[in-house]
Amino acid sequence: MTEGNFVDYVKIHVFSGKGGKGSAHLHREKYITKGGPDGGDGGRGGHVIVKGNENLWTLFHLKFKRHVKAEHGGNGSKQRSSGAQGTDEYIHVPLGTVIRDTETNEIIKEITEDGQEFIIAEGGKGGLGNWHFKSSTNQTPRYAQPGIDGQQVDITLELKVLADVGLVGFPNAGKSTLLSVITAAKPKIANYEFTTLKPNLGIVQYRDFQTFVVADIPGIIEGAAEGRGLGHRFLRHIERNSTLLFLIPSDAKDIKEQYDILVDELRRYNPELMDKDRLIAISKSDLLDEELKAEMKSQLDKELDFPYLFISSVAQKGLQELKDKLWQMLN
Ligand SMILES: Nc1nc2c(ncn2[C@@H]2O[C@H](COP(=O)(O)OP(=O)(O)OP(=O)(O)O)[C@@H](O)[C@H]2O)c(=O)[nH]1
Ligand SMILES: [Mg+2]
């Protein structure tokens, strides 16, 4: 998928800088006849470094970047002065980026942490200046080392899905509470909107040795696609989930309306989100009595276009059924 502004796959040619030449300079000064060698070392060529950045969510900023070149090292010069080090070049990537060798398709590295740095192409070493080669038998070496060439690597960057299931809902819908009861995560929970400001991930231990990852995302409000509420930042997370779990509280005035607003925001943000699998959970169903629930069911059966179920994190109801359903959708 490389359409629109969600880019999760790019190929880049990477070149590190060549090392600077060592200098073969001979010291000359008035009245000093044999100054001797004083050529400085060449500077190291710049590295190309891939660096994790938790504020990035796609590889879109690299879409048109075919080449990344680091600077060459400076040459050494007289008076043993070393050449400047070539500036390192950074490729900033979101967490969950896999670096592959384009030719062999082998995984070179996976970037998982903010600030993590990986040198993908090492800058060439600078050559040594001639004064290093001075010896008893050669007092004035006219030889200095050349710099070592930089490296050239073709890499493919690929973004992995961040979590299998993304929780989608208005603020206060009970998303964090659900995460806290189906995983070991301990997100902040409170009875006000925008308690969650940053996504939380949790791992669901499913049956025996199976697991899947759920992402708790800050609440979405009408206008989110235009940047209202917490803006674009969290909608980007959803692009990286393979299944969407809509959470709508049973005490919502109109469940279908809330669902429609959420779907609409997602569509306006990125129409491709409509291709993802959806499940709808009516949360806080402990607030309903059986009669009300039955009434709601007959209504929702007509209104909703995707499967739904009733859950209660507080009363621990419907949670196994929910996990079963999600597992089934993911596999
Ligand atoms: N009765 C009942 N209350 C619940 C249930 N789940 C969550 N709540 C309450 O709903 C309120 C909001 O819960 P959160 O889990 O913080 O909601 P959220 O969707 O993460 O909210 P934001 O992070 O603000 O978007 C809290 O007061 C919870 O105790 C439930 O199953 N039943
Ligand atoms: Mg929350």
2 pLDDT tier (thresholds 50, 70, 90):
very low
> Among 22, 39, 99, 34, which Cα is nearest to 68's?
99
Taking a C-beta distance cutoff of 8 angstroms, is the pair 56, 92 a contact? yes
pLDDT of the residue at 141: 92
pLDDT band at 5 (very low <50, low <70, confident <90, very high): very low
Instruction: Please give the helix or strand (H or E) that residue 302 lies within, else none.
Output: helix 290-303
Taking the C-alpha atoms of residue 101 and residue 185, their distance in angstroms, rounded to an integer, is 35
Q: Is residue 175 lining ligand 1, measured as CB closer than 6 Å?
A: yes
Q: Is 195 in the pocket of ligand 1 (CB under 6 A)?
A: yes
Which among 248, 263, 264 is positioned nearest to 299, based on CA atoms?
248
Tens of pLDDT, residues 211-257:
888 988 888 888 887 877 775 667 777 877 889 999 999 999 999 99
The band of 7, judged by pLDDT with boundaries at 50, 70 and 90, is low
pTM check: above 0.75? no
Span from the CA of 183 to the centroid of ligand 2 (angstroms): 14
pLDDT greater than 80 at residue 32: no
For the record, the structure tokens of 311 come out as 């859950």
Over pLDDT 70: what percentage of the chain? 96
Query: When comparing pLDDT for 174 and 240, which is higher?
Result: 174
Q: How far is the CA of 195 from the centre of ligand 2 (A)?
A: 5
Rounded to 10 degrees, the C-alpha dihedral 210/215/221/227 comes to -140
pLDDT at 52 over 90: yes
Alpha-carbon distance values, 68 to 38, 56, 108, 113 (Å): 35, 19, 17, 22
What pLDDT, in 10s, does the model give residues 258-283?
Answer: 999 999 999 998 898 999 999 999 99
Q: Is the CB of 22 under 6 A from ligand 1?
A: no
User: Model confidence over 129-158: pLDDT tens digits?
Assistant: 999 999 999 988 999 999 999 999 999 998
Q: Which residue has the tokens 């507080």?
A: 314
